[in-house]
Amino acid sequence: MLSKEKIERIRRAAEKYRDVPAPYGEDIDLSKYKVEGGEVEINSLEDLEEEERAKLENLGIDVREERTSGSYLQINNNVVYTRAKSKVEILPISEALKKYNLEDYFWNLVEIKDKYTARVALERTGGFFIRVPKGVRETLPLQTCLLIGREYTSQNVHNIVIVEEDAELNIITGCATSPHVKSGLHLSVSEFYIKRNGKLTYTMIHDWGEKVHVRQRTGVYIEDNGVYINNYVVITPVRSIQSYPAVYCAGENSKATLQSVVYGRKKSKIDLGSKVVLSGRGSRADIVSRSIADDNSEVVARGRLVGEGEEVKGHLECKGLIISDEARLYAVPELDARRSNIELSHEAAVGKIAEEQLLYLMSRGLTEEEAVSLIIKGFLSMDLSGLPPTLAEAVKRIMDITLEGL
Amino acid sequence: MLSIENLSVKVEDRLILRDVNLNINVGEVHVLFGPNGAGKSTLINTIIGNPRYKVVEGSIYFKGKDITDMPIYERAKLGIGLAYQKPPEIPGVKLRDLLKIIARVDWEEIERMAEILKFKDFLDRDVNVGFSGGEVKRSELLQLFAQNPDFMMFDEPDSGVDVENIKLLGRIINHLLEKDRKPADRRKAGLIITHMGHILKFINVDRAHILYNGVIACSGSPEEILNTIIKYGYKRCIRCYQRRR
């Protein structure tokens, strides 16, 4: 439930920004992408067609749902499946809006200020609502899948996750197109709330068609002693991704870790950032990104730490490999200190694969191509801490599949 | 097994090696002495096929094949291996995975060797990342064991290694080179670079050479050569070489 005033505010903002391009990423002609519905609900993830199932499995999704605390599947703009297997509540956002008063959660961390957010606000939109009740520490991961199943479809998503006090959850999101689908547009708004002593680990793996555009808007709010860990993985070709999530470490001793692994291939244009605002006393943030620009790709790795609170600490690490002369890798690490007793630091390094490494491996009998692919795999697999073992395996598997074609 | 004829090598337009001749037969292990900058590393980098080292004259033959222009990985496939002195770090690549890729012996044997080298705990570490001097040496020996080349080169296998471990490494090198077998059963050959030669107490070396200013100034039995160096230093060698010419 939302108040009339709020609904009106959302509508007015959306109308205002309906045609306004975003500051980053290439501008997309929204009229080319239709917002349609009509997909039929399924009774189990195993009801999916064989090739779609295989695709989700490659993203680390447990299709048999043996080791999960719940599942969510959205195809295009329809929620076709939700299943809660634990105390964690999971609903389509449309139902959650009927059931709960989400006045303080809906369009609260993400602002409507470009045509993409405007479309999510104005048009038919799916999305999940996940709530972990107070004190529930769920160890099994909850999986959400967002699938585009038709060409030139605009998939709209508005997600809300609430981790109540002393609660904990691990969410894996697999984003993909059906195997035959090449084009599409994925627009998402995600608002995550981590209450006192709560913890949320959110891992997103992308595997889109080569002509898919992705625009994501994410806000995360962390209260006292709350912890947020975000892992973002994109290693298959895509037309473009632009995302710059903002995390607010508002609570005392709150902590955020954002890790991203990006492998730009073919004509991919990936503009990915992480911003953390440290305002809670003693709050901490670590931003780690690993990017590779290959073929004709363009990869931008942004990072921004804002120090506002007492005794906050943040570190930003950005490492990039540029493989091809036709590619571009642009690293933008920013530190913004607004108080004296804080500690913010960053290290950024961009370069090619060291010849010494190549020769070393080649002198062990690897061809140049084999050596390059091994170094790339190593570079990308580095430091993805906080991943549960099954997910770490999934990431490794999808990397192997991707790198096979090199 | 390895035969080098009239080899001259340039690095970035500087002539480093001049007219080097060297012949190492199956079953033999040679040692190469020489002061810093004499060209020892240049010689092994040229043999392994590092493209930064340009052969301007002469040839290298391995198992009867002219490998002078052969790419580095083909030489490795043909059976040449090198234990590096200072190998690069390969972040994110587990030693275990690299060993499996390069292995030409069974995994069980590699594990056994890792145990002998007291290196099992390092299999799940990133290759060379944060390894100490001694750990690097053990990692290199383990990789060489997995690769199982016929001709092995060791670049300063004892530098930065404590006395206790020198004995272990020396014995393993001796084993890799099959010097613990009967002469008729030996199929390997090797070339060791060392500064002072403590490790040689544990390896049966057949012949020693002194590389000085880019030339092989002197060759002989290891004891002879080592004693000469200790007694007169390297300067004596160059005089002797000039006289011979």
Residue B6 backbone class (left: φ over 0; alpha: ψ -120 to 50; beta: rest): left
- Write phi, then psi, for B204 (nearest 5 degrees): -85, 100
**Quick check: A363 and B49 CB within 8 A?**
yes
Structure tokens at A5: 């005033």
Select from 3.40.50.1820, 3.40.50.300, 3.40.50.10480, 3.30.379.10 the CATH code of B2-89+150-244: 3.40.50.300
Please report the beta strands in A208-362, taking only residues with DSSP state E, as ranges in sequence order: 211-222, 227-234, 240-243, 246-249, 255-264, 269-278, 284-293, 298-307, 313-322, 328-337, 343-351
Asked if residue A315 lies in contact with residue A285, where contact means CB atoms within 8 angstroms, the answer is yes
Average pLDDT over residues B136-162: 94
Residue B13 backbone class (left: φ over 0; alpha: ψ -120 to 50; beta: rest): left
The dihedral formed by the CA atoms of B136, B139, B143 and B148, expressed in degrees to the nearest 10 = 90
User: For the segment A218-237, what is each residue's pLDDT rounded down to a tens digit?
Assistant: 999 999 999 999 989 898 89
- Report which of A203, A207, A180, A202 is spatially closest to residue A399, judged by C-alpha positions: A207
User: For the segment A29-88, what is each residue's pLDDT rounded down to a tens digit?
Assistant: 999 999 987 788 899 998 888 988 988 888 878 899 988 999 999 999 999 999 999 999
* pLDDT value at residue A61: 86
Task: Give the span between the Cα atoms of A297 and B6, in whole angstroms.
Answer: 48
Q: How long a stretch of residues is chain B?
A: 245
Task: Give the span between the Cα atoms of B27 and B150, in whole angstroms.
Answer: 10
Q: What letter represents residue A271's amino acid?
A: D
Asked if residue B233 lies in contact with residue B240, where contact means CB atoms within 8 angstroms, the answer is no
- Write phi, then psi, for A284 (nearest 5 degrees): -135, 150
User: For the segment A303-338, what is each residue's pLDDT rounded down to a tens digit?
Assistant: 999 999 999 999 999 999 999 999 999 999 999 999
What DSSP state is assigned to residue A196?
T
Q: How many CA atoms lie within 13 A of B1 on its CB side?
A: 21
Q: What b/e sequence results for B16-41 when a residue is b if at least 16 CB atoms lie within 10 Å of its CB, and e otherwise?
A: bbbebebebeebbbbbbbbbeebbbb
Which residues partner with A212 through β-bridges?
Answer: A184
Cβ-Cβ contacts under 8 Å, A365 against chain B: 73, 76-77, 102, 147
Report the sign of the C-alpha dihedral through residues A360, A364, A367, A372, in that order: negative
The ipTM value here is 0.95
**Quick check: B76 and A379 CB within 8 A?**
no
Asked if residue A311 lies in contact with residue A341, where contact means CB atoms within 8 angstroms, the answer is yes
Residue A393 has pLDDT above 80, yes or no: no
Greater confidence (B43 vs A60) lies with B43
Q: What b/e sequence results for B120-144 when a residue is b if at least 16 CB atoms lie within 10 Å of its CB, and e otherwise?
A: eebbebbbbeebeebbbbbbbbbbb
Which ranges of chain B does DSSP label H, i.e. alpha helix?
A: 40-48, 72-78, 95-102, 107-116, 133-147, 163-176, 222-232, 234-244
pTM of the model: 0.86
* pLDDT value at residue A403: 62
Residue B230 backbone class (left: φ over 0; alpha: ψ -120 to 50; beta: rest): alpha
* pLDDT value at residue A394: 66
**Quick check: B98 and A367 CB within 8 A?**
no
* pLDDT value at residue A390: 66
- Report which of B87, B49, B91 is spatially closest to residue B68, judged by C-alpha positions: B49
**Quick check: A364 and B98 CB within 8 A?**
yes
- Report which of A211, A147, A205 is spatially closest to residue A178, judged by C-alpha positions: A147
CA-based Rg of chain B, rounded to a whole angstrom? 18
Closest Cβ–Cβ partner in B73, B75, B91 for A378: B91
- Report which of A159, A164, A179, A145 is spatially closest to residue A72, judged by C-alpha positions: A145
Average pLDDT over residues B81-91: 95
The percentage of residues in chain B with a pLDDT greater than 70, rounded to a whole number, is 97
Cβ-Cβ contacts under 8 Å, B103 against chain A: none
Task: Give the span between the Cα atoms of A305 and A249, in whole angstroms.
Answer: 11
Number of CB atoms found within 10 A of residue A203's CB = 26
Average pLDDT over residues A134-146: 94
Return the ∠ at Cα A289 (arms to A203 and A281), rounded to 5°: 80
Per-residue pLDDT band for A398 (boundaries 50, 70, 90) equals low
Q: How many CA atoms lie within 13 A of A390 on its CB side?
A: 17
Which residues partner with A247 through β-bridges?
Answer: A220, A276
**Quick check: A360 and B87 CB within 8 A?**
yes
Give, for A370, the enclosing helix (H) or strand (E).
helix A368-381
User: For the segment A159-175, what is each residue's pLDDT rounded down to a tens digit?
Assistant: 999 999 999 999 999 99
A residues 326-365 lying closer than 8 A (beta carbon) to B: 354, 356-357, 359-365
Q: Lowest mean pLDDT of A17-31, B5-19, B132-146, B230-244, name the range.
A: B230-244
Task: Give the span between the Cα atoms of B245 and B238, in whole angstroms.
Answer: 11
Give, for B20, the enclosing helix (H) or strand (E).
strand B14-24
Most confident of A49-53, A393-397, B10-14: B10-14
Give, for B215, the enclosing helix (H) or strand (E).
strand B215-220
* Nearest-neighbour CA in chain B from A403: distance (Å): 14
Rounded to the nearest 5 percent, the helix, strand and coil shares of chain B are 40, 30, 30
Residue A279 has pLDDT above 90, yes or no: yes
Q: Cα A161 to chain center, whole Å?
A: 13
Average pLDDT over residues A367-395: 78
Cβ-Cβ contacts under 8 Å, B140 against chain A: none
User: For the segment A72-86, what is each residue's pLDDT rounded down to a tens digit?
Assistant: 999 999 999 999 999
* pLDDT value at residue A381: 75
Number of CB atoms found within 10 A of residue A40's CB = 8
**Quick check: A360 and B91 CB within 8 A?**
no
Per-residue pLDDT band for B144 (boundaries 50, 70, 90) equals very high
Asked if residue A46 lies in contact with residue A53, where contact means CB atoms within 8 angstroms, the answer is yes
